[in-house]
Every structure is written in C-alpha cells, then in structure tokens.
Amino acid sequence: MKIKNTDLLKECCYINGQWVSENSGAKMPVYNPANQEIISHVPKMGGDETRMAIEAADAALPEWKAKTAQERSEIMLRWYELMKENQEDLAILMTLEQGKPLAEARGEIAYGANFIEWFAHEAKRIYGDMIPAKSTSQRIMVIKQPIGVVAAITPWNFPSAMITRKCGPALAVGCTIVIKPSPESPLSALALCQLADQAGFPPGVINCITGDAKSIGAEMTSNSIVRKLSFTGSTAVGKLLLEQCASTVKKVSLELGGNAPFIVFPDADLDLAVKGAMLCKFRNTGQTCISANRFYIHTDIHDAFVEKFKTEISQLKVGDGFEADVGQGPLITQAAFDKVSAHVADATKNGAIIELGGAEHEKGGTFFQPTLLTGLIDSMLISKEETFGPVAGICRFSSDDEVIKLANDTNSGLASYIYTKDLSRAIRISEALEYGMVGVNEAAISSELAPFGGVKESGLGREGSHYGVDDFLELKYVLLGGI
C-alpha cells in the first residue's frame, strides 16, 4: 500500500514549526504489527528536546490566545479539511503502524477530524457569567481563559483520534500544545502535524515529540510552564503521571483503562444485542478502553445469545488490515498477545468453556483467534482486568440486582452497555451503573458531541461535547466595584 501524499511520511519531530532530528541522530523503529517489518524510523528524543518544545509552545501562547475565536476557528477548520482531503493516506499510515482494518482506519480519521471541526465552532462559545453581587455598586464577572501550555500523551489504539480529541478543545480555547504519541504509532501523529503546518498554525502552537517515554513524561510533568496534562493510556501510567504532576500542581485529565460490562436482559432485541457485541468486542481487535470486557447475559436467553454470537464471530475474517473484508487485525505487540493468552488460560483453568477460538491464529505473529468463552466467573483474570483483545467471556445472571452488583464490582468505571426494551429498566439500570458512560441498545457511543470519560480509576475529566473545553480553561472571577 502506497500513500499518494508522501509529505505525510515524516521521520522527524515537529518543534516550533520545524522538522527536527535528535542531535545525536538517535532513532527508534516503527513496526508493522501485521508482519513485524520496520516501516520507518522516528527520532528518539528525551527531556532536553521536550523542554525546547515546551518553551516553543510557551513562546507561541500569547499570540495564539490573543487571536479571536473566529481566527483560531478558521485555522482549525483548514486543518479539518486537510484531514478529510488526506483521509485515505492517513488511514493507510494508520493501518501500517497499528494494524487495524483499513475501513476502521478510514473511520477513525473521519471520527478524529470531527473533533477539530466541532471544537473549531465551540471556540466561539466560551461564555462567561455575570453574578448578582451583594451590593448594588458591585457586579461579579466570571470569565474563562485558556489554561496555558498543554502536554498530551497519547496511546497507540487510536493513533489519530486521541490526538485530535485533545488538540480540538485545547487549540480552540487558545492553549498551545506539546504532543507525545505512542512509540507504536508516531507516524499518524507526525502526519497530522504536517497537515497542521499546512493549515497555517503559527510555529510553536502544535509540537510533537517522539522518543523515550519516561524522560519526555518526566519533563512534561515537572516543567512548571506546562499547566495541564492530558493523558490517555493505561491506569498504571496514568497514576504515575498524576503523582508526577503533583509537584507543580497541574490540572490533569486522565482517560484510563475500563472493564466494560455488556448486559443483555431477557426482553432485549437479541439481534441488536449481538450486533452491538460484535462491534463492542472485536472492533480494533478488542483493543479499546471501551471494549466490552464482561458479557452478562440473562439466563433465560443465554443459550440463544451464545448461539447467535458464535455464528457472527465465526464469520469474522482475520488478517492484515489491508486485505479485503478483514474484520480483525493483529494485536499490537507480543506483550499484548501474551496478556490475551494468559487471560484465556486462566479462564479455562478455572472452568470456562471455549466455545470458539482460544489460541494463536494460523496467521502467526500476534494474530489471535476471535474467541468466545462461557462460564465466566468473578474471580477470573478476564473478569477483573481489561483483556484488550478479541476474547468475549460470558457470565449468566438471573436478576437486575445481581447484575448491577456484578457490573459495579470493579475499580474501573468507563463504559457500560445494556440491552433491554423496557424503558423503566433502561433508566433504572443506567442510573445504578457506576460508569461514566452507558450505551442503551447502542454500542457505538464515542462521538465529538458527547462527554467521554470515566469514574473511579478510569479517569478524570471529559473529552468531547461542550464539557470538553472545561479541562482546558481556568475560571477567573472579577469583582467590579464602584458602579
């Protein structure tokens, strides 16, 4: 697969509007997870270059935040248009470095670009407040101002959208940003920077650093110029970064791991539930933080659901994301493959039954068979931890109270899904679930229009919707006297 716009393939970092290499020339390889071949190399930068990028973002801040919302919005909309024009190339780059089926990669580019378009318009709606004061000679004015320089650390599972989801609100309100993409998927990030450059963002407004995660992260979290860290990734790294941000009291947004329950009640439309289960479990090879991780199926419909689900899963074509009709690509790394294998082994050792799959796929490498397990119990690893792979584990339940207790019995609280035709049950259960998001008869819940985020250890803050700007703004109260 060849991209048409070769300018998008970058092997340098983007700092202060310049494409720069690491001083000593240190580089790190980028692999294609479908065949382990090296696609390209990117600089292996560290703390010093991160500081340079942060200082560039700081220098660019006064001019960027002084622009009118309309001016910022126009540049953002040009960026959005360029993403759309280059959708196919951006999708190819993504499939190459991340492995997801090309159709999914195209979908992610469109989805990711929407955050830029949506927030470009939201830039014009950063409203303040006037509050009646105690005295008639006073007014209380509340204004919202950009927090300042933002650091963004992003994962490999959505190499493009996790960046636009942070850049959208940050840039719209007048912040500048330094991005550290995942070492597994830096090419998508650098390609977005190339388009940002073309769109006309002033130098320093957007910067992107690839390299050593620990030293880049250490600089981002300790540098007092950075006023906000926005992170999407594992819970363990999120906790570490939150701790590291304490010394400079930064505002922190964390979008961490989930352990999503997918609950099907006896009155559900089973075909709809199976369609949702397929999307929710096998999209991106199960490597999303909102992937269903535990399936709770009411005992009355358990066997019928399993039968239908099994039929659908068995039709899933596994392969390189560029092959036609592929529905499931490889896992991102050997470590990811090992985790999935360990979860299946632990489940079967503790009594789960393999209905389908359960092992390495014949394609080898990090390809894993789409897997269906029944007889899931609470104590299994697969019930307790995010599997992040194409394994659906099913547990029976008999009552609403029982399933609410099971679903909430976790430290995670990102996404949850329920299938029922009973409106009052849908409302009761939605309110009882300790999750940031609930899909009712719907599995595709992510959108620029809605607040995405979790409770408990799944994170802090929300991305998307008009709530999404709050994390990048400071409130300022001005008391107007002598009126």
Sites of contact with ligand ADP (CB under 6 A): 153-156, 180, 182-183, 213-214, 217, 233-234, 237, 240
Minimum CB distance to ligand ADP, residue 285 (Å): 13
Question: Is 416 within 8 Å of 263 (Cβ atoms)?
Answer: yes
Question: In this complex, which beta carbon is closest to ligand ADP, that of residue 28 or of residue 426?
Answer: 28
Minimum CB distance to ligand ADP, residue 257 (Å): 8
Per the annotation, the verdict on 255 as an active-site residue is yes
Ramachandran category for residue 25: left, alpha or beta (phi over 0 → left; psi -120 to 50 → alpha): left
Question: In this complex, which beta carbon is closest to ligand ADP, that of residue 270 or of residue 289?
Answer: 289
Q: Which residue has its beta carbon closest to ligand ADP?
A: 217
Minimum CB distance to ligand ADP, residue 246 (Å): 15
Considering only the C-alpha atoms of the chain, give the largest distance between any 2 of them, rounded to a whole number of Å.
Answer: 79
Minimum CB distance to ligand ADP, residue 113 (Å): 21
Question: In this complex, which beta carbon is closest to ligand ADP, that of residue 112 or of residue 358?
Answer: 112
Question: In this complex, which beta carbon is closest to ligand ADP, that of residue 150 or of residue 270?
Answer: 150
Residue type, 273: A
Question: In this complex, which beta carbon is closest to ligand ADP, that of residue 214 or of residue 317?
Answer: 214
Minimum CB distance to ligand ADP, residue 164 (Å): 16
Q: Cα-flanking dihedrals φ and ψ of residue 104, to 5°?
A: -65, -40
Minimum CB distance to ligand ADP, residue 241 (Å): 6
Minimum CB distance to ligand ADP, residue 150 (Å): 15
Question: In this complex, which beta carbon is closest to ligand ADP, that of residue 114 or of residue 154?
Answer: 154
What distance in Å separates the CA atoms of residue 429 and residue 410, rounded to the nearest whole number? 16
Residue 423 vs residues 55, 276, 408, 429: alpha-carbon distances, Å: 53, 18, 21, 10
Residue type, 172: A
**Which one from 255, 355, 386, 457 is the annotated catalytic residue?**
255
Per the annotation, the verdict on 312 as an active-site residue is no
Question: In this complex, which beta carbon is closest to ligand ADP, that of residue 234 or of residue 441?
Answer: 234
Question: In this complex, which beta carbon is closest to ligand ADP, that of residue 332 or of residue 403?
Answer: 332
Minimum CB distance to ligand ADP, residue 215 (Å): 8
**Which one from 208, 280, 289, 395 is the annotated catalytic residue?**
289
Q: Which residues are catalytic?
A: 255, 289
